[in-house]
A = this chain, B = another copy of it.
Amino acid sequence: MLPPGLYRGAVAAQVIVLNGSSSSGKSGIARCLQAVLPDPWLAFGVDLLIQAMPVSAQTSAAGIQVAADGEVTIGPEFRMLEAAWIEGIAAMARAGARIIVDEVFLGGAASQQRWKDALGPLPVLWVGVRCDVAVAAGREIARGDRVAGMAASQAEVVHRGVAYDMQVDTTHTEALECARAIAARAQGGMAR
């Protein structure tokens, strides 16, 4: 018997969850997935949730805060809005939309459990997005829109205790190539 929400390859996925630290390359993979998958998929990242929040919650202890060293802390207000957001994304998938979730599991396994509870029996492909810490830190500088240190501070914690169907590593593999491998799995083309 398989636990609900774990993808088993024979069935096409309805939801693809990409989890990885900041600057690991998730958003690029998500856009490539949208380009290579034959059907239209919606891509929702945590950045989009933050964008939907009040400006005050985007920089407060109750909401979300990024310290000078790049460490991110989450408050009760953020948690409450995020819980509703997760329910909403799950409802979009139940209503028939194919969805890519681009996430940073700051709580590791506990974060994954929140998504599992909401997604229930939907066929989900869980993907870990890895990247060498030094490389991610360099890409953080190249982007120029992230607080230095975010990549490093999240590198380990986001994968702690998380179970994946597959993992990709963007250190030496381009986003498009990662996306092609994920798309093959998501369409049920490869048995597990």
Interface residues of A (CB under 8 A from B): 28-29, 31-32, 34-35, 40-44, 48-49, 51-57, 63, 77, 80-81, 83-85, 87-97, 135, 138-139, 141-144, 172, 174-177
A92 to B49, CA, bound (A): 12
Contact B138 A32 (CB under 8 A): yes
Please indicate the chain B residues that have their CB under 8 angstroms from the CB of A97 in the complex.
80-81, 84-85, 88
Of the candidates B42, B48, B85, B143, which one forms a contact with A31 in the assembled complex, judged by CB atoms under 8 Å apart?
A: B143
Please indicate the chain B residues that have their CB under 8 angstroms from the CB of A142 in the complex.
28-29, 31-32, 174-176
Which residue of B is nearest A180, CB measured?
Answer: B138
A97 to B79, CA, bound (A): 11
**Chain A interface main SS type:** helix
A94 to B87, CA, bound (A): 9
Of the candidates B85, B95, B135, which one forms a contact with A83 in the assembled complex, judged by CB atoms under 8 Å apart?
A: B95
Contact B52 A44 (CB under 8 A): yes
A49 to B48, CA, bound (A): 10
Contact B87 A31 (CB under 8 A): no
A131 to B127, CA, bound (A): 28
Contact A31 B77 (CB under 8 A): no
Which residue of B is nearest A54, CB measured?
Answer: B34
Which residue of B is nearest A33, CB measured?
Answer: B54
Top 5 nearest A-B pairs (CB, nearest first) are: A91-B91, A28-B142, A84-B97, A88-B92, A138-B176
Of the candidates B41, B89, B94, B176, which one forms a contact with A141 in the assembled complex, judged by CB atoms under 8 Å apart?
A: B176
